[in-house]
Amino acid sequence: MKRRDFLKSVSGLAAGALAPTAPAIWSPAKADARSETLLIVSEGGPNNLDIHGVGTNVPGYEVSWNCYDRLISHEMKSGPGGVPYYDRDKFKPELAEDFNIGDMSVTFKLRKNAKFHDGAPVTAKDVKWSLDRAVSVGGFPTFQMSAGSLTKPEQFVVVDDHTVRVDFLKKDRLTIPDLAVIVPCVVNSELVKKNASEKDPWGLEFTKQQTAGSGAYKVTKWTAGTEVVMERNDEWVSGPMPKIRRVIWRMVPQAGNRRALLERGDADISYELPFKDFQEMKANGKLNVVSLPFSNGIQYIGMNVTKPPFDNPKVRQAMAYAMPYQKIMDAVLFGLANPMFGAPKDKPTEVAWPQPTKYFTDMEKAKALLAEAGYANGFETTISFDLNFAGVNEPLCVLVQESLAQLGIKTTINKVPGANWRTELTKKEMPLFTNVFSGWLDYPEYFFYWCYHGNNSIFNTMSYKSPEMDKLIDGARIAAANGDTAAYDADVKGFVDLAFTDIPRIPLYQPFVNVAMQKNISGYQYWFHRRLDYRAMAKG
């Protein structure tokens, strides 16, 4: 008997003996508070309220997104299934009321009535200080800024109290999108400077504990690892007034309990549940379950191309034919992903990313390719995965192990603790592994620059180096900056084709972000950062 069945029968007995009970009773004041409050439950919470901080985790990004404003943001468009999806190509003013993109600079006019949470007006000085901070503090924020060729404080110029100009170092199509990600948020410079010290000139210790922005929400209580309480900023002018007055975000480590809280109607919204739960909740229809593909994201099997046997392209192709693609889709993901394999033979390569490969499971072909490469009797190798995502990675690796065994390849599974995964990736010594990469900026050349370029960034986990590939990627970046569509299309098609024939990493699928919410919650929007935007949400 399965655990679930056992639980069902146990509870069935208990429920049979007793009449169903009424839901919890609220006093009228509490009921009001409840209708204007959004209760979110998730596994992890923020470790820092400032995205510029040292080692701010992903839940921390959600706080930053909702509590700080940026100069510009994205418009929404209708995404898969009619869910609002951010529009990569359309920008709207946020803290800026207007902006003007020139040839080598962009000028922002700030809203004159915008105020920080403490009542201080938002000025061009604050904007410059915040952008200087983002490119100077080091670590992730600085890295993200550099992805849009924003690297020097001199690039940010105060024109007058309410006008800021950002100068371009070089033409780069990613500069404007990079100003709309989470990092270039505007911080209350006077308040933070007052709380900075010589050792901490950017006041990171201060903003770690409290929000100092002009955003639609402010954190009123934060108990690390337990809860975050955010209240609406009623003075917010950078967009329509949000409907949710208060957001309570509780950390509930047990996935089963999060599901129970949702199904009982006690929690409003949750993510980070096992795929099986999402699929079951989708099927029984009591809750709204939104599943949307990660923009610019792929789960893949990577191979270290610097060492035998994976230095041989034939072996890599054999591996690509030996992957149990459909089994992974069905048994691991319960269909909640976009397949990245099995495109028809005659399908032309598109100027898009992600797109499926033409590989499919074909053990005969894999055997033949292996024999050609001189490994007719297989070999021994190790497949590694990140235990933080064991729910997907572990069954996936077991399926791969089983499949490879048919080719005589003996695979040992190496489970790497989450804390250690980064270290292992940086070493670039794992022969075979599975991982996910997804870029905030949704452009093919951005993905390829990090994952396939010979400058060997941490995400080029395969240590893949090919002069031809580099030429195509660099070509696409230049063509994009100059608006040369024909050259751009040719280069993108070129690098996609090369990535599929050389196949240093085998794309498996495009993962979905899954969010489950009560039927009375509306206004969910998909953002590139895949976290919630409370500003658009409503209850009832």
Partner 1 sequence: MLSLIGKRLLFAIPSLIGVVIVTFLLTRALPGDPAAYFAGPAATKEAVDQIRKKLGFDKPLIEQFVRYTGDLAHGDLGTSLTTGQPVAAELRNRLPASAELTLLGLVVSIVIAIPLGVLAATRPGSWIDHLCRVTTTAGVSLPVFFTGLVLVYVFYFRLGWAPAPLGRLDVFYSAPPTVTGFYLIDTLIARDFEAFRSALSQLILPAVTLAIFSLAPIARMTRASMLAVLASDFVRTARASGLSPGKVIVTYAFRNAMLPVITTLSMVFSFLLGANVLVEKVFAWPGIGSYAVEALIASDFAPVQGFVLTMAVMYVLLNLLIDILYGVIDPRVRLEG
Binding site for partner 1 (CB under 8 A): 7, 10-11, 14-15, 18, 20-24, 26, 30, 33-34, 37, 39, 41, 47-48, 53-57, 138-140, 142-144, 208-209, 223-227, 248, 250-254, 256-257, 260-261, 263-264, 266-267, 417-420, 422-423, 426, 457-458
Within 13 Å of residue 483, how many CA atoms lie on the same side as its CB? Answer: 1
* In the complex, least distance from residue 381 CB atom to partner 1, rounded to whole angstroms: 21
109 HSE (CA, 13 A, CB side): 5
Reference 324, options 401, 433, 415; nearest CA is 401
CB of residue 87 vs partner 1: minimum separation in angstroms?
24
CA dihedral 60, 64, 65, 69 (to 10 degrees): -170
3-state secondary structure 205-223: HHHHHCCCCCCCEEEEEEE
Residue 222 or 359 with smaller CB distance to partner 1: 222
Give the β-pairing of 105-110 and 96-101.
antiparallel
Q: How far is the CB of 23 from partner 1 (least distance, A)?
A: 6
285: region left, alpha or beta (phi > 0 left; psi from -120 to 50 alpha): left
264 vs 307 by CB, closer to partner 1: 264
Closer residue to partner 1, CB minimum distance, 61 or 91: 61
Task: Give min distance, CB of 267 to partner 1, in A.
Answer: 7
Identity of the residue, 140 or 360, whose beta carbon is nearer to partner 1 in the bound complex: 140
Judge contact between 72 and 127, C-beta under 8 A: no
Task: Indicate the residue among 227 and 235 with the shorter CB distance to partner 1.
Answer: 227
Q: Which is nearer to partner 1, 56 or 233 (CB)?
A: 56
Residue 256 CB, nearest approach to partner 1 (Å): 6
The answer to whether the beta carbons of residues 292 and 442 sit under 8 Å apart is no
In the complex, what is the shortest distance from the CB of residue 339 to partner 1, in angstroms, rounded to a whole number?
Answer: 25
Task: Please state the closest distance from residue 402 (CB atom) to partner 1, in A.
Answer: 27
- Tell me which long-range contacts 465-473 makes (C-beta under 8 A, separation of at least 24): 466/498, 466/502, 468/498, 469/495, 469/498, 469/499, 469/502, 472/498, 473/445, 473/448, 473/449
**Choice between 110 and 252, CB closer to partner 1:** 252
Distance CA 333, CA 509 (A): 10
Q: Tell me how far, at minimum, the Cβ of 55 lies from partner 1, in Å.
A: 3
Residue whose CB is less far from partner 1, 350 or 394? 394
Q: Which two tokens stand for residue 37?
A: 């409050």
3-state DSSP call for residue 515? strand
